[in-house]
A = this chain, B = another copy of it.
Amino acid sequence: MLIREILDVITEGKFIMPELRKDPVLGRWVIISTERGKRPLSNGKFDMERKGGFCPFCGGNESHTPSEVLAYRSDGSAKDTQGWTLRVVPNKYPALQIEGALSREGEGIYDRMSGVGAHEVILESPDHDMTLAKMAEKDIENVFWAYRDRVLDLKKDKRFKYILIFKNEGEAAGASLEHTHSQLIALPIVPKRTSEMIAGAKAYFNYKERCVYCDIIQQEKDEGTRIIEENNHFIALAPFASRFPFESIILPKQHSAFFEEGQKQQFEQLARVLKSVLSKMDRALEIPPYNMMIHTSPFYENTAEHFHWHIEIIPKLTSLAGFEWGTGFYINPVPPEEAAQFLRQP
Contacts and interface: CB of A to CB of B under 8 A. Distances in A.
B44 A332 contact: no
B30 A338 contact: no
Contact of A21 (B33, B241, B317): B241
A61 to B, nearest CB: 24
A212 B26 contact: no
Contacts of A11: 338
A331 B329 CA distance: 20
Given A42-B319, A240-B24, A332-B31, A291 B326 contact: yes
A108 interface: yes
A41 B316 CA distance: 15
**Copies of this protein chain in the complex:** 2
Interface in A316-332: 316-332
A83 interface: no
25 contacts: A1-B284, A2-B319, A6-B245, A10-B338, A24-B216, A25-B204, A29-B241, A30-B243, A30-B330, A30-B331, A30-B332, A33-B332, A37-B245, A108-B222, A108-B223, A110-B241, A164-B329, A168-B322, A168-B323, A174-B320, A174-B322, A191-B327, A193-B328, A291-B323, A293-B327
Contacts of A263: none
A246 B218 CA distance: 45
Given A109-B212, A241-B23, A37 B329 contact: no
Contacts of A109: 212, 215-216, 219
Interface in A1-29: 1-4, 6-7, 9-11, 16, 21-29
Contacts of A341: 10
Interface-centre pick from A32, A108, A334, A336 (highest chain B CB count, 10 A): A32
Contacts of A331: 30-31, 33, 36, 95
A28 B241 contact: yes
Given A10-B341, A174-B321, A312-B326, 11 more contacts: A6-B342, A21-B240, A24-B212, A24-B241, A95-B331, A108-B222, A110-B240, A164-B329, A166-B327, A291-B323, A314-B326
